[in-house]
A and B are shown apart, each in its own frame.
Chain A
Amino acid sequence: DSGVTQTPKHLITATGQRVTLRCSPRSGDLSVYWYQQSLDQGLQFLIQYYNGEERAKGNILERFSAQQFPDLHSELNLSSLELGDSALYFCASSVGGTTYNEQFFGPGTRLTVL
């Protein structure tokens, strides 16, 4: 158990819908990262927040947005969902905000768009 929690574990929805994925980082970790893992694209970095502020942005679509709240939990919002958005979405956390820090991954949310 990494100490990172993600809800829900599974999500099935239809095209065009909007969903919210939630992540609670390990106690004491200030950074939260979001990743998307699919068979064709592999593990792709989406976005990072550090202590409530956006720190780094990766291959995140404009239909997707995220935020980190004062209690450091984070939410990833996916809207106007398409079939290709079906994937595993992971949240990770680390103490610091650089790539020298070990990242602790949550169990993931499996999103299926029908």
Chain B
Amino acid sequence: SQQGEEDPQALSIQEGENATMNCSYKTSINNLQWYRQNSGRGLVHLILIRSNEREKHSGRLRVTLDTSKKSSSLLITASRAADTASYFCATDRRLLQGAQKLVFGQGTRLTINP
């Protein structure tokens, strides 16, 4: 079952422009993470934001979290061709006996055109 849903499913922009991707989720969370996946390769962790944080920066990345709306956004500024990839949000979900797992959305496929 999917917890996070990314929007849009696909995004194509020109190099140098900013890219914004959104993630919505259904149940309460402790934290939300964003990952990047280049075609057919393993995921790479980008940033983690805790439920008591509203905004976090890492280089050209800015992540916001609105727990009242159960949504997050990932902004990539001054995009580069190398940013072409799929981007996934992942939220934590409790399992039985206190265990947890990450639930990934379906991802946003970002294409940066030169």
Give me the interface of A with B, judged by CB distance under 8 Å: 2, 4, 42-43, 45, 48, 55-58, 88, 90, 92, 98-100, 102-108, 110
- Which A-chain residue is minimally distant from B42 (CB atoms)? A105
Contact in complex: A107, B41 (CB < 8 Å)? yes
Contact in complex: B95, A103 (CB < 8 Å)? no
In this complex, how many residues of chain B approach chain A with their Cβ under 8 Å: the count is 25
Give me the interface of B with A, judged by CB distance under 8 Å: 2, 30-31, 33, 35, 40-45, 48, 50, 88, 92, 95, 99-107
Residues A108 and B100 in contact in the complex (CB < 8 Å), given A43-B88, A100-B30: no
Q: Which residue among B41, B43, B44, B100 has the maximum number of chain A CB atoms within 10 Å of its CB?
A: B43
Contacts of A43 in B (CB 8 A): 43, 88, 104
Contacts of B102 in A (CB 8 A): 45, 99, 103
